[in-house]
Amino acid sequence: MAEYHEISPNAPAAEKLLNWVDNRFPASKLFKEHMSEYYAPKNFNFFYIFGALSVLVLVIQIVTGIFLVMHYKPDAALAFGSVEYIMRDVPWGWLIRYMHSTGASAFFLVVYLHMFRGLIYGSYRKPRELIWLFGCGIFLVLMAEAFMGYLLPWGQMSYWGAQVIVNLFAAIPFIGPDLALLIRGDFVVGDATLNRFFSFHVIAMPLVLLGLVVAHIIALHEVGSNNPDGVEIKAKRDASGKPLDGIPFHPYYTVHDIFAVSVFLMVFTAIVFFAPEMGGYFLEYNNFIPADPFKTPLHIAPVWYFTPFYSMLRAVTDEMMYALIACVLAGAFLTVTRVRMPTLFKGVIVGGAAVIVAMMLSIDAKFWGVVAMGGGVMILFFLPWLDNSPVKSIRYRPDWHKYLYAVFVLDFLVLGYLGILPPSDIGGRVSQIGTLFYFGFFLLMPWWSRLGEPKKVPDRVTFTAH
């Protein structure tokens, strides 16, 4: 609570107005804390634009969404027609709708790159665990938002995609079928489902999303940004207490981000105008056919941003269960024999492994497929506590770590590609190996991240003026 600040009666009107506001609301204080006196490391590279870009896409989605709701009808009998009405009869409706549909794919693209940045530079390490957790929350909510939004055009892919995903919940033992009924609000996906997904998509999820975004940024500005060197800039300050390697976010990074935004918008508008369907990857062809509850399209695939996790779902078959059981047993055996701990803990681990194996043998592979898909996302939340490497940034990790991360990225892309394709024997086998690698990468990280000799981390960030 600042004291009331008087200003000279001869001050210009604008200054008087600002002073009047500042005495009642911390406008200047907020601007300084988050913009002009928020010191960001000066060695940011290309990968540091995606945070700002995801905020931009969020704004695009909210604004275009508001305008779409003015013409859209959340009714199973009218929904498909109302989307076509927006496309054909509403003045500029096609542009607003294509911005929204392209925005969805753009959102995931920038968020995936943003997450990749965090992964390679160790931006989730102490003291930034909560930033990472809020970010994972954003990713999760974003997936729910995208999934529910995809039902709204009420095309064949909307319908059958929702049918498949809602039935995932039915695979949960005991409560599953009732839970799926509760989500659908009917015995099959229908009008009730469409209405509630509309409600979640336009109000519930966006509110949660905005809250998480604010928390993400507040947490970031509390601890300060990481950088490609993984060096804490706050450790070296000048006489006035400013970090030596920090530069004010405004004007330096605001200008930097405006440039990135311009480039992004060129690509974005090019897609909106010339390839809004992106060859069936952003808007699937089957979704231009109205939903038909009696006819599943010959090939169902989720939109590209879900496919890596969808591949994990498909990878879990009865055969795969034996491999997974072997992994659980090997994991328990290694933990008990190689890690030092009280006998009681060992007993708990052996008992736990026995229970899990018993469950794996008695519950359908279908349920474990759902667990793999959900686990693929949930495991990201644990990353800050899985990484035991003595250095944060990939730059100072042993070289083979870089190759391992490269294989991980490749694995993720291959899983994504296979998730788009129709099921096949060879594809299924590859996605099973890919799924094992994906989980192995994270679950074995506490061990492998400690191996090898890290390079010397510099005291200050590496930076050459340009």
Partner 1 sequence: MSESLVEPGQMDASKRTWLIASSCVGAVGGIAAVVPFVSSFQPSERAKAAGAAVEADISALKPGEKMTVEWRGKPVWIVRRTPEQLAALPKLNSQLADPKSERKPAEQAPVYARNEARSIKPEYMVAVGICTHLGCSPSDKFQTGAQPSLPDDWQGGFFCPCHGSTFDMAGRVYKNKPAPDNLEVPPHMYLSDTKLLIGEDKKA
Q: Is 234 exposed, middle or buried (0-12, 13-18, 19+ CB in 10 A)?
A: middle
Choice between 317 and 335, CB closer to partner 1: 317
Nearest to 82 by CA among 62, 74, 202, 200: 74
What minimum distance in Å lies between the beta carbon of 167 and partner 1? 4
Can you tell me the distance from the alpha carbon of 396 to that of 456, in angstroms, rounded to the nearest whole number? 7
Choice between 23 and 296, CB closer to partner 1: 296
Q: Cα Rg for the chain, rounded, in angstroms?
A: 25
What minimum distance in Å lies between the beta carbon of 313 and partner 1? 8
Asked whether 381 and 337 are in contact (CB, 8 A), the reply is no
Choice between 138 and 371, CB closer to partner 1: 371
Nearest to 364 by CA among 225, 93, 170: 170
Own/partner contacts of 232-235, CB < 8 Å, gap of 24 or more, are: 233/39, 233/41, 233/461
Choice between 213 and 291, CB closer to partner 1: 291
What minimum distance in Å lies between the beta carbon of 278 and partner 1? 22
What minimum distance in Å lies between the beta carbon of 329 and partner 1? 21
Strands (E), 155-243: none
Choice between 78 and 181, CB closer to partner 1: 181
Can you tell me the distance from the alpha carbon of 115 to that of 113, in angstroms, rounded to the nearest whole number? 5
Q: How far, in Å, are 21, 314, 321, 420 from residue 424 at the CA level? A: 65, 11, 18, 12
What minimum distance in Å lies between the beta carbon of 144 and partner 1? 15
Q: How many CB atoms lie within 10 A of CB 360?
A: 17
> Which position has the token pair 């859209």?
72
Can you tell me the distance from the alpha carbon of 399 to that of 389, in angstroms, rounded to the nearest whole number? 13
Choice between 168 and 391, CB closer to partner 1: 168
Q: Could you tell me which residues come within 8 angstroms of residue 71 by beta carbon, excluding any fewer than 6 positions away?
A: 82, 85, 86, 90, 93
Can you tell me the distance from the alpha carbon of 265 to that of 280, in angstroms, rounded to the nearest whole number? 21
Asked whether 20 and 232 are in contact (CB, 8 A), the reply is no
Tokens standing for 294?
Answer: 């009696």
247: β partners: 40
Residue ranges that bind partner 1, judged by CB under 8 A: 160, 163-168, 170-171, 181-188, 190, 192, 196, 293-300, 314, 316-319, 364-366, 369, 422-424, 428
Q: Could you tell me which residues come within 8 angstroms of residue 319 by beta carbon, excluding any fewer than 6 positions away?
A: none
What minimum distance in Å lies between the beta carbon of 347 and partner 1? 33
What minimum distance in Å lies between the beta carbon of 168 and partner 1? 6
